[in-house]
Amino acid sequence: MKILGICGSPRSKKLSACYKILEHTLEATGMEYEIVRLGKLNYTGCIACLGCVSDNVCRLHDDLRDLRNKIIEADAYVIASPNYYSGMSAFTRAFLERWFQFRHRGNDTTWGKLAVAIGVGSMSGEPVLDEIEKMLMYNFVKIVAKISLEGNPSCFYCGYGNNCEVGVPKLAGISCPPPDKIPSILDDPANREAAENAGRLLAKSLREGYDRRLTSLEMQERLSERFQESV
């Protein structure tokens, strides 16, 4: 069993709360995993050329081409994205748009697979979770656990400190800590516990076995309900 971890934050491993919590979640699974940092790759979103409909292979020649096999080979996914303006990061969205290539006839690459969604915002990661869940649903992937966590405002690192007139500390009325006192998302035991629980639950679901075909049907039904609700 292999899990593919996707980090939708473009920031470095050292700074990114998404990366840290993603790694902690994957470690808790006790399974083999690999983390891909989308911010290191060059790619675009889907261009709707429909080139993939005949053989389920995206025609765009960019860095996501190499990732295609990893998506196919993975038994499950853990996807972490920062909250950017009340939604997932553009890196995460463009990446998931390209899963359109797996949605055509004669393809069940992702159908019935399992996932964990992680959203991190300076105030909330919740808006990210809804978006990841919705996009994975189109590929009949079932989310077994969702984690919404609070990280630091990205601007804590800008260097202007409490002199800044426009950043989150000013707007939210909070103090901007000096660089060496900026907390890590893993400092908070509740965050670590949330990640560990999600990782363990994913591993349990994978180890105890589940019926991919039934899971896929369940997701098809859910998607169909969603379509009917929005008509």
Ligand X SMILES: Cc1cc2nc3c(=O)[nH]c(=O)nc-3n(C[C@H](O)[C@H](O)[C@H](O)COP(=O)(O)O)c2cc1C
Site for ligand X in 134-163 (CB under 6 A): 151-154
- DSSP E strand boundaries for 8-135: 32-37, 76-82, 114-121
Residue among 120, 123, 48, 58 nearest 89 (CA): 120
Q: Rounded to whole angstroms, how far apart are CA atoms 97 and 80? A: 15
- By beta-carbon proximity to ligand X, the closer residue of 45 and 108 is 45
| Exposure of 166 in the CB half-sphere (CA atoms within 13 A) | 1
Q: Which of 107, 109, 124, 220 binds ligand X (CB under 6 A)?
A: 124
194 belongs to the binding site for ligand X (CB under 6 A): no
84 belongs to the binding site for ligand X (CB under 6 A): yes
What are 36's strand-pairing partners?
6
Q: Which of 44, 54, 86, 224 binds ligand X (CB under 6 A)?
A: 86
Window of 14-22, 30-38, 50-58, 67-75 that interacts with ligand X by CB under 6 A = 14-22
Q: Rounded to whole angstroms, how far apart are CA atoms 190 and 52? A: 43
Window of 120-128, 140-148, 175-183, 192-200 that interacts with ligand X by CB under 6 A = 120-128
- By beta-carbon proximity to ligand X, the closer residue of 122 and 216 is 122
